[in-house]
Amino acid sequence: MADFPEAPRIVVTGIGVIAASGMDTDSFFQSLLAGESGIDHVTAFDVSDLPSKIGAEVRDFDPGAFMDPKEVRRNDRYTQMALGATRQAVADAGLDMARVDADRCGVLVGSGIGGMWTIETQSRILFEKGPRKVSPFMIPSLIANIASGKIAIDLGARGPNFSVVSACATSTHALGESFRIMRTGDADVMIAGGSEAAMTRLGYAGFCAMKAMSTRNDDPRGASRPFEKNRDGFVMGEGAGIFVLETLEHARARGAKIYCELAGYAATCDAFHITQPDTEAVGLTVCLRNALRNAGLQPEEVDYINAHGTSTPFNDKCETLAIKNAFGEHAGKVMVNSTKSMTGHLLGAAGSVEAAICAKVIETGDVPPTINYEEPDPELDLDYVPNVKRRAAVKVAMSNNSGFGGHNASLILKAFE
């Protein structure tokens, strides 16, 4: 039999984040540690006739800082934020693309919904002004893979390039599939993550119609309360999270700073319901177990879990059950938080932004709280790091996400040794 080379180790060398809670990774993370919420009343469009009126808007984002005006007009907001976060991540990694083998540098950046701003504005133009006024850039602007293509053009990266779409698990899958690509030897560097900008009147109305969002309109910063007894739905957010992933050999050869190691990944499906999680948490339990197995770790080695934790009644209950199923006795000892209590739910970008939080937790030893945790739910009894940040030596972190369609994804990040 042929001898197969040992799979390379994959490390995180750069991170970029754009979110309502902060316009770069460090300010974003410090905001979370302070327990500051990025959720407020929606200002981007009229919500007067909608039941929910709150969200985590990115209000200070200026694509003109890194794109010329023509490119700004031709690209949807989700692509603009993806490119902005990529610029941050590449600078953070100190990655000189002139010194990188372009054929071995890939991009895998996803979006759960894609160009919702483009869909809404171009539909309005069609209905009000007719088909001749529809933009020739409409299709490339709205499709969910175009951010990945745009980033590759910007960087000159000719390696593997595509997009995944799995609703709110999208960017976790993007990081995980990039991990797989690199482990099989098909790339030395991957730019990976997700971006979402679906906070339009149409997108917002759609989620309102599903009765999925919080209507705690008189208390925006207190509206997202994952795992808490009085939770009443998620709060919609937007933003982007992008990673620079490298093989350890590639990172060492250029003397790169290393945040942590991406050590494990798994993906499963509930095969249960199009929007509701499996009440028995079978698929998610298997996902968590498989991620641990893929990383070669035991449950008791995990110090911290950044949960999907959407603040919806079903999700938080089912996720707690899955953690108990997968971690057994250790479930009550591991720290489990939901930073969505402050960031809102970034949909397809949630996973990569939350994986970025895991990397910063490993780096700093500071764990952000789950804010708005006032009245415990008697059915949910894990350590949710309530209300106040915690100092802890975190060697291994897990990040979990689930999406409509029953999609589950889990990542394991661990301190680099």
C-alpha 20/C-alpha 385 separation (Å) is 22
Task: Please answer whether residues 363 and 260 qualify as being in contact, where contact means their C-beta atoms are separated by less than 8 angstroms.
Answer: yes
Q: How far apart are CA 88 and CA 28, in angstroms?
A: 13
Same fold, 11-253 and 265-414: yes
Only one residue has tokens 């539909």, namely 123
% pLDDT > 70, the chain? 99
Question: What pLDDT, on a 0 to 100 scale, did the predictor assign at position 4?
Answer: 47
Q: What share of the chain is helix, strand, coil (3-state, %, to 5)?
A: 40, 20, 40
Q: How far apart are CA 170 and CA 384, in angstroms?
A: 24
pLDDT digits (tens, 9 = 90+) for 2-13: 444 689 999 999
DSSP assignment of 116-176 = HHHHHHHHHHHHHH-GGGS-TTHHHHHSTTHHHHHHHHHHT--S-EE----GGGHHHHHHH
CB of 414 closer than 8 Å to CB of 397: yes
Catalytically annotated residue among 208, 250, 260, 345: 345
Q: Any idea which fold 265-414 has?
A: Peroxisomal Thiolase; Chain A, domain 1 (3.40.47)
Write down the pLDDT at residue 6. 83
Mean pLDDT, to the nearest integer, of 278-302?
Answer: 97
pLDDT digits (tens, 9 = 90+) for 117-132: 999 999 999 999 999 9
- Three-class DSSP category at 274: coil
What percent of the chain is predicted at pLDDT more than 90? 97
Q: Is 105 annotated as catalytic?
A: no
Contact residues for 263 (Cβ-Cβ < 8 A; gap 6+): 10, 295, 296, 297, 396, 412, 413, 414
Which is catalytic among the residues 308, 318, 358, 407? 308
Architecture, CATH, for domain 11-253 = 3-Layer(aba) Sandwich (3.40)
Does the annotation count 308 as an active-site position? yes
Distance from the first to the final alpha carbon of the chain: 32
pLDDT tens column, 374-394: 999 999 999 999 999 999 999
Q: Average pLDDT, stretch 229-252? A: 98
Catalytic, 168? Answer: yes
Report the C-alpha gap between 305 and 326 in whole angstroms.
Answer: 12
Question: What is the side-by-side order of every strand in the sheet holding 161-162?
Answer: 161-162, 105-110, 189-196, 239-247, 10-19, 260-269, 407-414, 396-403, 304-306, 335-337
Q: For residue range 67-113, what is the model confidence (pLDDT) as tens digits?
A: 999 999 999 999 999 999 999 999 999 999 999 999 999 999 999 99
Q: What's the maximum distance between 2 C-alpha atoms anywhere in the chain?
A: 68
pLDDT digits (tens, 9 = 90+) for 261-275: 999 999 999 999 998
Contact 365/391 with Cβ under 8 angstroms?
A: yes
Q: What is the pLDDT of residue 3?
A: 45
| Mean of the per-residue pLDDT values of the chain | 96
pLDDT in tens, 166-208: 999 999 999 999 999 999 999 999 999 999 999 999 999 999 9
- Segment 322-345 shows an average pLDDT of 98
What pLDDT, on the 0 to 100 scale, is given for residue 5?
62
Domain ranges of the chain: 11-253, 265-414
